Structure 1
Amino acid sequence: MEAQRANRRWWDGDADDYQAEHGDFLGDADLRWCPEGLREADVGLLGDVAGRRVLELGCGAAAGSRWLAGRRAHAVALDLSGGMLRQATLGARRTGVRVPLVQADALALPFVDGAFDAVWTAFGAVPFVADSAAVMREAYRVLRPGGSWIFSITHPMRWVFLDDPGEAGLTAVHSYFDRRPYVETDADGVPSYVEQHRTLGDRIRELVGAGFRLRDLVEPEWPDGHDQLWGQWSPLRGRLFPGTAVFVADKPAGCRPSGARHG
């Protein structure tokens, strides 16, 4: 709960600045999986979404959900932060594309079992909760059998290096196996931002433990001609080691529903 409160306050307060800094790159109706610029229009990780029910976790300004709606998906966008959902509302006004917006915690999704054909997130929810295995279980619960769960996160090996796009960010300074969270605090010592670290093996065990089958693990390469910095992402680092991991998993088609827990 401490991490939830900290991150909700953080994203509520940072929503406008975040959109001002990254909105042009993300677009008003586009689905980019990562700062490397990997676009769903090019890779098709979600497949043919026409007519499918698709849930976005940690949607931010919901540009990806609006893009999916433009491909005739029944998209729903969810975020913990009211500030980010306000940005999603502004994006809907700019584009004229509206998708249902839901304010809720990814640890307790307000949907019945099997409600969606796909659940996805690009850098949302998963790194910000202490019990990310529970997020995997919730994604599994609200997916129909045969549905897909796709999420992108900072590549776990980046935890080893300083959060620096320059030369200083090329030197390993932390243990890859140190799973203590990164925590920023305010003047009173109260956590104001919390981000969690798990190894690649941890993530795979979370997925398998929830019942998923891992179909792919995508590590996008830094593309030629892409010179835009995003925090610690840069051409210098991106050409040497991965900055993003995209997990592509499926709920087995033959599994039984677990029984509704949320209305």
Structure 2
Amino acid sequence: MGAPRRQVRRKSTTRERIIQEQEPPGAPEPEATRRDADVTESSRANRGWWDRNADEYQGEHGTFLGDDRFVWGPEGLDEVEAELLGPADELKGLSVLEIGAGAAQCSRWLAAQGAQPVALDLSHRQLQHALRIDELRAAAPPPLVQADAGALPFADGSFDLACSAYGALPFVADPVLVLREVRRVLRPGGRFVFSVTHPIRWAFPDEPGPEGLSVSASYFDRTPYVEQDDEGNAVYVEHHRTVGDRVRDVVAGGFRLVDLVEPEWPQWNSQEWGGWSPLRGSLIPGTAIFVCERD
């Protein structure tokens, strides 16, 4: 994303917008529940959700994301300053896989540094927005690939680096499967950096105001958040991992954890983005960025 590309929605807002924008008048509201959702169901539900909501997402957050910024989350931490993939002047010529690329904003920034990015996303509609942006810019888009992060369509050792700003990992039932796939397509010594909602947020209501500052759920409850239709079919799935789970997933995926970054909310950022806000951001972390390397 430059800022988060993929937004984990405020629960009530997700339901309201699905109804208002995607369902005919009088359609039943998706039921919000907590239940198991496997790899296949999660992938199918979230592919559909992002295809339905890509227009609204890019319309609402496109200004913050820009066309060619690399932002790691709603706090606005920019790769220009963070250099989590490495110094910008050392990216030239490196092949980079962006997972959960959305409209490929991060990939454009990488290309401007002389890197050779490939932008991958589960959602066809998100990738159409990448084409739209490049048509407006009269520029050639980075290579775009529609695929599931758990089954990357690339040969072993195809990339020097990989990145994912709020892409895939918050929505997949088996993060180790994704991490192993990323490791497979990286060359030895390759780095994978990914950002997700900070796990502590699972214990708090997903609200930007004072009501979002009181613990309302168990941090240790890994049961997925699912929105389902009246036939019980999932239309949106969000998975929770604790900090310890994420660290163990990284190791099980064959990586070495180099750094764990928890961006502080900067004074210049006055926006609210779902459950992210200056109020909450000044008190509790909202994003966790895992910097991993393949030995």
Deviation at 1:43, TM superposition (A): 0.9
Deviates more, 1:197-206 or 1:93-102: 93-102
Q: Are the equivalent residues in 2 in contact too, given 1:119–1:139 (CA < 8 A)?
A: yes
Deviation at 1:209, TM superposition (A): 1.1
Residue 257 of structure 1 is matched in structure 2 by: none
Deviation at 1:215, TM superposition (A): 0.6
Matched, 1:68 2:107: no
Q: Tell me: CA distance 1:206–1:115, structure 2 relative to 1, closer, same or farther (3 Å).
A: same
Gaps of 5+ in 1: 253-263
Distance in 2, Cα, partners of 1:93 & 1:188: 40
Residue 262 of structure 2 is matched in structure 1 by: 219
Deviates more, 1:243-252 or 1:86-95: 86-95
Distance in 1, Cα, partners of 2:154 & 2:78: 28
Query: In the TM superposition, what are the counterparts of 1:243-258 in structure 2 within 5 Å?
Result: 243-252=286-295
Deviation at 1:97, TM superposition (A): 4.4
Aligned counterpart in structure 2 of residue 50 of structure 1, from 92, 99, 111: 92
Query: In the TM superposition, what are the counterparts of 1:172-251 in structure 2 within 5 Å?
Result: 172-251=215-294
Residue 258 of structure 1 is matched in structure 2 by: none
Distance in 2, Cα, partners of 1:241 & 1:94: 38
Secondary structure of 1:163's aligned partner? coil
Deviation at 1:225, TM superposition (A): 2.3
Distance in 2, Cα, partners of 1:2 & 1:34: 26
Q: Residue type of the partner of 1:19? A: Q
Deviates more, 1:179-188 or 1:118-127: 179-188
Deviation at 1:210, TM superposition (A): 1.6
Q: Are the equivalent residues in 2 in contact too, given 1:140–1:251 (CA < 8 A)?
A: yes
Deviations 1:96-126 (CA, angstroms, capped at 9, x unpaired): 1410000001000000111000111000011
* Number of equivalenced pairs: 252
Residue 255 of structure 1 is matched in structure 2 by: none
Matched, 1:16 2:58: no
Distance in 2, Cα, partners of 1:175 & 1:97: 47
Deviations 1:33-71 (CA, angstroms, capped at 9, x unpaired): 000000001111111211000000010010000110011
Distance in 1, Cα, partners of 2:290 & 2:117: 20
Distance in 2, Cα, partners of 1:93 & 1:52: 25
Secondary structure of 2:283's aligned partner? coil
Residue 124 of structure 1 is matched in structure 2 by: 167
Distance in 2, Cα, partners of 1:186 & 1:92: 36
Deviates more, 1:183-192 or 1:236-245: 183-192
Distance in 2, Cα, partners of 1:210 & 1:189: 32
Aligned counterpart in structure 1 of residue 120 of structure 2, from 67, 78, 87: 78
Q: Residue type of the partner of 2:249? A: E
Q: Say what the alpha-carbon RMSD is for the aligned residues.
A: 0.8
Residue 142 of structure 1 is matched in structure 2 by: 185
TM-score (normalised: structure 2): 0.84
Distance in 2, Cα, partners of 1:186 & 1:87: 27
Residue 104 of structure 1 is matched in structure 2 by: 147
Secondary structure of 2:50's aligned partner? helix
Q: Are the equivalent residues in 2 in contact too, given 1:66–1:97 (CA < 8 A)?
A: no
Secondary structure of 2:106's aligned partner? helix
Matched, 1:31 2:80: no
TM-score (normalised: structure 1): 0.94
